[in-house]
Amino acid sequence: MEETTVIASSSFDCGIGSWDLKTGNEQLRFKQCASPSHGLTAVGEKFLAASQLRNASGSSGSVFFWFWNKPQVEVRSFPVESITALTANSEGTYIVGGGASGDIFIWEVATGKLLKKWHAHYVSVTCLVFSGDDSLLVSGSQDGSVRVWSLIRLFDDQQRQHQERTLYEHKFDEHTMAVNDIVIDYGGCNALIVSASKDQTCKVWSLSQGKLLRSIIFPSKINALALDPGGSVFYAGGGDGNIYIGALNSKSDYATQFLGSVSDPSKAITCLAYCADGNLLISGSEGGVICVWNPRSRQPVRSFTFGHGKGPVNNIQVVRKTIVGNANKAQSSWKRNVSSLPPPLEKYERKGDDTVDGIVIVDPPLSSDVPVYSSYRSADFINEQVKELEQQGSAATEIEMERLKLEYKKSILMNDQWQKNYENLLQVVMEEELNGGSN
């Protein structure tokens, strides 16, 4: 069973709201969260992570974790700088954070280890997206640059020393202002990347060719993107409160269509998410209203109010969770297996010592309660044995038969021999006896 949940957070301290998308019921409200845009992510099905704005002024950033069944913050970590963009791979084994300095950090969730840190952009990272197979990372920055990174190559220290290649696979510098959002479609190695910017354009890039395919101009700055996976169109949330529609294969330089707008037109659309299950588009606005649209009919289906309408919503994510039995049980079984909370994210890269342990922690499958299976053997066993018996009738027995025949012959000869010996002996004894008797 799967459950589709919408989670949302704000830059004000309104916590994280969660709703069941099917029924519209509000679920748990996670406390104490004021995250930057792109600062909220679900880590696999395990927990929620959000970067915090609070300490942004201080020397370090902060990232909090929540479990799905508990409103309190469970784990607090304090990376070296404030994390402006946060995401996790689909399995929830790595968390990637982009810092205000333009550095990107990769943490291993199971150990909290900072595996890698590199200087990705000159200024603050605004958004991070994994490619469909989690092997590439696309990052956008405040200065309008977009970079594509191959994670495997980032970890390849040897090759980097030998080859004077740039770290990134592609760089896209055509945006003139901050990149606000990035989406990547299902094209695999030929995927299209769409980036939205403050400069009122969305640009479509080819991953395989590493170049700009087209640029689409919108009437306002674009804050958020969502992709309609099957329709080769994307939705763009504008600063003017409208949701526009762009075509990936657009011939036009201008966006021509729009889906709708939030009730209060002065409030900008700040985030969008698409739920393929039921084809729903979810928008969040500065006014704190989360609206679920049916993009086919262009009608809003339902809406949630978040933070009593005070705070702007700046993150929305659709999370699909597997339900084993009931949600609590799944959670507890995960917790039981994991034995404890995930460790906090470490501040610094450990040098040298990972050659000693080099351990990767693999979680058991969540559905570990499925009954184990063992098959019956008797019927096959009988057939095997019978076959064996039949086979012995042919080759093995024949060899055995020959051997026995040979032995039989030998025995007969031996028998004759003994017989003769006996007779000879008997004769000797008889003769002795007779001779003795005569004596």
Partner 1 sequence: MASFERFDDMCDLRLKPKILRNLLSEYVPNEKQPLVNFQSLSKVVSTISTHKLLSEDHKLQSKSKSAVDEWVERLLALVSSDMPDKSWVGIVLMGVTCQQCSSDRFFSSYSVWFNSLLSHVKNPESSRIVRVASCTSISDLLTRLSRFANTKKEAVSHAAKVILPVVKLLKEDSSEALWEGTVNLLSTVVILFPAAFHTSYDQVEEAIASKIFSAKTSSSLLKKLAHFLALLPKANKGDTTSWSLMMQKLLISINVHLNNFFQGLEKEEIGKKAIQRLAPPGKDAPLPLGGQNGSLDDAAWNSEQLIVSRVSALMYCSTMMLTSSYKCKRNIPVASLLSLVERVLAVNGSLPKDMLPFMTGIQQELVCAELPTLHSSALGLLRATIKSIRSQLLPYAASVVTLVKSYFKKCLLPELRIKLYTITKTLLKSMGLGMAMQLAEEIVSNASVDLDPKTVEGSDVVSSTNPSLANRAALKPCSKKRKHSTNSGVEAENAAFEVGVPHNHSSSPISLKLAALEALETLLTTGGALGSGSWRERVDKLLMMTATNACQGRWANAGETYHYLPNKSTEDLVEFKLAALGAFLASLVSPSRDRPAFLAEGLELFQTGKSQGEMKVAGFCAHALMSLEVVIHPRALPLDGLPSLSDQFPQNNSPDGNVLSKKWSVNVDVPSNNEIQRNVDLTLPLPEAKRLKRGNDLATVDSLSDPDHTDNVGSENVEQADVPTKKVPESTKESLGHVSEKDDMAPEEVYREVVSETREGEGLAVKDSLMEEAATDKKRESLGESDDDSIPSLEADDYLSSDSDIES
Q: How many residues bind partner 1 (CB under 8 A)?
A: 91
Consecutive H or E run containing 220: none
Of residues 18 through 47, those in contact with partner 1 by CB under 8 A are none
Q: Which stretch binds partner 1 (CB under 8 A): 148-156, 318-326, 411-419, 428-436?
A: 148-156
Q: How far is the CB of 258 from partner 1 (least distance, A)?
A: 5
Q: Which stretch binds partner 1 (CB under 8 A): 23-31, 173-181, 185-193, 324-332?
A: 185-193
Closest CA to 172 of 220, 132, 131, 121: 121
DSSP H stretches of helix in 10-107: none
Residue 181 tokens read as 């959002």
* Residues whose CB falls within 8 Å of the CB of residue 177, separated by 6 or more in sequence, listed in order: 144, 197, 198, 199, 221
* Residues whose CB falls within 8 Å of the CB of residue 435, separated by 6 or more in sequence, listed in order: none
Of residues 309 through 338, those in contact with partner 1 by CB under 8 A are 337-338
Q: Which is nearer to partner 1, 73 or 224 (CB)?
A: 224
Q: How far is the CB of 330 from partner 1 (least distance, A)?
A: 14
Strand 233-238 relative to strand 242-247: parallel, antiparallel, unpaired?
A: antiparallel
Contact call for residue 229 and partner 1 (CB under 8 A): no
Q: How far is the CB of 249 from partner 1 (least distance, A)?
A: 4
Contact call for residue 215 and partner 1 (CB under 8 A): no
Q: How far is the CB of 352 from partner 1 (least distance, A)?
A: 13
Q: Alpha-carbon distance 16 to 109, whole Å? A: 21
Q: Which is nearer to partner 1, 11 or 93 (CB)?
A: 93
Q: Alpha-carbon distance 126 to 105, whole Å? A: 14
Half-sphere exposure of 240 (CA within 13 A, CB side): 10
Q: Which is nearer to partner 1, 247 or 301 (CB)?
A: 247
DSSP state of 395: I
Using CB under 8 A, pick the residue from 155, 186, 418, 422 that binds partner 1: 155
Q: Alpha-carbon distance 284 to 163, whole Å? A: 45
Of residues 50 through 89, those in contact with partner 1 by CB under 8 A are 89
Count of other CB atoms within 10 angstroms of residue 352? 6
Q: Alpha-carbon distance 315 to 97, whole Å? A: 15
Contact call for residue 404 and partner 1 (CB under 8 A): no
Contact call for residue 126 and partner 1 (CB under 8 A): no
Contact call for residue 189 and partner 1 (CB under 8 A): yes
Laid out side by side, the sheet with 136-141 consists of 125-130, 136-141, 146-150, 170-172
Strand partners, 16: 9, 30
Half-sphere exposure of 396 (CA within 13 A, CB side): 7
Q: How far is the CB of 335 from partner 1 (least distance, A)?
A: 11
Using CB under 8 A, pick the residue from 295, 307, 311, 342 that binds partner 1: 295
Q: Alpha-carbon distance 120 to 319, whole Å? A: 28
Q: How far is the CB of 190 from partner 1 (least distance, A)?
A: 3
Q: Which is nearer to partner 1, 382 or 406 (CB)?
A: 382
Binding mask 237-276 for partner 1 (x = CB under 8 A): -x-xxx--x-xxxxxxxx-xxxx-x---x-----------
Contact call for residue 421 and partner 1 (CB under 8 A): no
Q: Which is nearer to partner 1, 371 or 437 (CB)?
A: 371
Q: Alpha-carbon distance 233 to 51, whole Å? A: 30
Strand partners, 317: 7
Contact call for residue 152 and partner 1 (CB under 8 A): yes
Using CB under 8 A, pick the residue from 190, 332, 415, 417 that binds partner 1: 190
Of residues 102 through 121, those in contact with partner 1 by CB under 8 A are 108, 115-116
Binding mask 339-378 for partner 1 (x = CB under 8 A): x--------------xxxxxxxxxxxx--x---xxxxxxx
